[in-house]
Amino acid sequence: MTVDRSIAPAFQIPERIDFPLPIHRTLKNGVRLYFIPTPEISAIRLEINSDAPATLGMEEKKLASYFTLHMLMEGIKGKTSAELDDFFDTYASEVEVINTFEHHGLSLLTTKKHFQTVLPIFFKLLTEALFPEKELAKRKSQKILSLNILKEKTGNRASQLFRQELFGKSHPYGQITEEKDVEEIQRLDLIEFYHKQLWINPEIFLTGNLSTEEIKLIEGLFGELPVVQIEKKLPNFGNGNHLRLVEDREKALQSSIRVGCHLIPKNHPEYFGLWVFNVFLGGYFGSRLIKNIREDKGHTYGIYSSIGSLQATDYWVVMADVIKEHREAVIDEIYKEIHKLQMEEIPLDELETVRNYLIGNLLSNFSSAFELISRFKSIHQSGLDFGFYKKQLEFIKTFQAEQIQEIGKKYLSKEKMVEIIVG
């Protein structure tokens, strides 16, 4: 049969999406393991992920997690930093630090051929790290330099102030790292964190072509990891003292803008409606904010809106770097576009464009086994399962314009917004 390549394939919307459920095991120390087999792929990815103490209401010295994790590759019993680098390079393996507001950990990407050689050394990073003083001093100098560079970037500063005003200065999400926080870190802080707080409620997310013997190797090693199991207790938060904060910089040519508010969580029945409303407004390259503020008015190279997902709450934010003299006009236009989307009829062609974009984007998120386990981890840490994505697809296929407009009116109003301008 000859294929006519001058004709594009017919567009098809899938009736449903089916996901392979991860194999779930609990190790003898309580560590939960989630495994998605991929017999056709010779690469293996293992990620161990733990709850950050600060988000559980526990005391944690600022930056202790950051430096502890980044020092794990600086030396273990029997191997220096250089020897560890050479070892993982020789076996085509990669170790990465995971460090977010709510979780931290370490991941290993390697080949099936070298997995049984590499895994024991990777595990020693979790149990036999040395934290040498010389390397710590070097890391601290690098961090201070990085902080000073980031201070000059208006976008970074605007994001920091937005989180601070959205959650409050005392909340882990709202804290801003200062140079003095780096200077106060000592080797003993890292050793204490390593032994007492690094592995709280840890979980392992695993994908690859693994035999029963290799699974047993993982269970045997990680089942011996000293861990802490505690009940989750997320800290309270509230807005800061300012719903509008302007930090002028005389020499700046542009201003960074952040406008946003708290949102409903993923398990709320109206979440999908808000998620779709966001895409229309600023969630893809053909969005209304892009067309108005970038293409029509030329005030910015890029403006977009997004939903941030955290365990304690979700939040919504518009982000833009704009020509300084137009910053107030841009904020006015943001509110105008929100109002228009809430109140005026949405053209049918725009409705279908967004619907098709959302379907394609959703399916592309599951194009590989590594992405599949990553999506599972994301939704699992929100207390949900793959059923979330099935409901998401069904909503995309059936939503009506009036439905998302009503939800947009309900949750996005100017009175709720935090506005930040830096520059």
Q: Which two tokens stand for residue 213?
A: 């013997």
**pLDDT at residue 234, as a whole number:** 66
**pLDDT at residue 218, as a whole number:** 97
**pLDDT at residue 9, as a whole number:** 63
Q: What is the mean pLDDT of residues 164-176?
A: 88
Which letter does DSSP use for residue 129 in this model?
B
**pLDDT at residue 56, as a whole number:** 79
Model confidence over 205-252: pLDDT tens digits? 999 999 999 999 999 999 999 999 887 776 666 655 568 999 999 888
**pLDDT at residue 20, as a whole number:** 81
**pLDDT at residue 237, as a whole number:** 61
**pLDDT at residue 21, as a whole number:** 86
List of domains in the chain: 23-222 (3.30.830.10), 244-422 (3.30.830.10)
**pLDDT at residue 240, as a whole number:** 56
Residue of 144, 119, 128 whose CA lies nearest to 66: 144
Whole-angstrom Cα distance, residue 262 to residue 418?
9
**pLDDT at residue 378, as a whole number:** 92
CB atoms within 10 A of CB 407: 22
pLDDT band at 161; cut points 50, 70, 90? very high
CB atoms within 10 A of CB 383: 12
pLDDT band at 297; cut points 50, 70, 90? confident
Whole-angstrom Cα distance, residue 318 to residue 306?
7
Buried b (16+ CB within 10 A) or exposed e, 201-223: bbbbbbbbbbeeebbebbbebbb
Q: Which residue has the higher pLDDT, 279 or 251?
A: 279
Model confidence over 369-412: pLDDT tens digits? 788 899 999 999 988 999 999 999 999 999 999 999 999 999 99
pLDDT band at 328; cut points 50, 70, 90? very high
**pLDDT at residue 169, as a whole number:** 86
Distance of CA 313 to the CA centre of its chain: 14
| Average pLDDT in the chain | 92
Residue 10 has pLDDT above 70, yes or no: no
Q: What is the mean pLDDT of residues 90-97?
A: 97
Lowest mean pLDDT among 142-151, 293-302, 343-352: 293-302
Whole-angstrom Cα distance, residue 282 to residue 298?
16
**pLDDT at residue 3, as a whole number:** 66
Q: What is the mean pLDDT of residues 248-269?
A: 92
- Residue ranges of alpha helices (H) inside 53-101 are 64-70, 81-90
Residue 364 has pLDDT above 70, yes or no: yes
pLDDT band at 311; cut points 50, 70, 90? confident
Q: What is the mean pLDDT of residues 174-180?
A: 92
**pLDDT at residue 114, as a whole number:** 96
